[in-house]
Structure 1
Amino acid sequence: MIEPLVVEFSVQAPQQHAFEVWTRRCALWWPASHTVSGDPAAITFEPSVGGRIFETAPDGTEHPWGEVLAWEPPGRLRFLWHLFFDRTEATEVELTFTPSGDGTVVRLEQSGWDRLGAAGTPRRERTGHAWAELTKLYAETAAG
Structure 2
Amino acid sequence: MIEPLVVEFEVAAPVTHAFDVWTGRCATWWPPSHTVSGNPDAITFEPRPGGRIFETSPAGDEHLWGEILDWEPPGRLRFRWHLFFDPSEATEVELTFTPHPYGTVVRLEQTGWDKLGEPAASTRRERTGHAWSAITTRYAAAVGSSE
C-alpha separation in 2, matches of 1:101 and 1:140:
19
Q: What is the root-mean-square deviation in Å for CA atoms of aligned residues? A: 0.6
State the match for 2:90 in structure 1. 90
C-alpha separation in 2, matches of 1:124 and 1:31:
19
| Equivalence map 1:38-53=2 (5 Å) | 38-53=38-53
Q: Aligned to 2:50, what secondary structure does the other structure show?
A: coil
Q: Deviations over 1:21-78 (max 9, x none)?
A: 0000000110110000001010000000000000000111100000000000000000
C-alpha separation in 2, matches of 1:4 and 1:125:
11
TM-score, structure 1 as length reference: 0.99
| Equivalence map 1:40-79=2 (5 Å) | 40-79=40-79
Q: Aligned to 1:96, what secondary structure does the other structure show?
A: strand
Equivalenced residue count is: 144
C-alpha separation in 1, matches of 2:129 and 2:24:
23
State the match for 2:131 in structure 1. 130
Q: Aligned to 2:48, what secondary structure does the other structure show?
A: coil
TM-score, structure 2 as length reference: 0.97
C-alpha separation in 1, matches of 2:40 and 2:144:
23
State the match for 1:21 in structure 2. 21
State the match for 2:36 in structure 1. 36
Q: Aligned to 1:108, what secondary structure does the other structure show?
A: strand
In structure 2, what residue type is equivalent to 1:37? S
In structure 1, what residue type is equivalent to 2:142? T
Task: Find runs of 4+ consecutive structure 1 residues off by over 2 angstroms.
Answer: none
Q: Displacement, 1:121? A: 1.0
Q: Which runs of 5+ in 2 are unaligned?
A: none
C-alpha separation in 2, matches of 1:11 and 1:28:
17
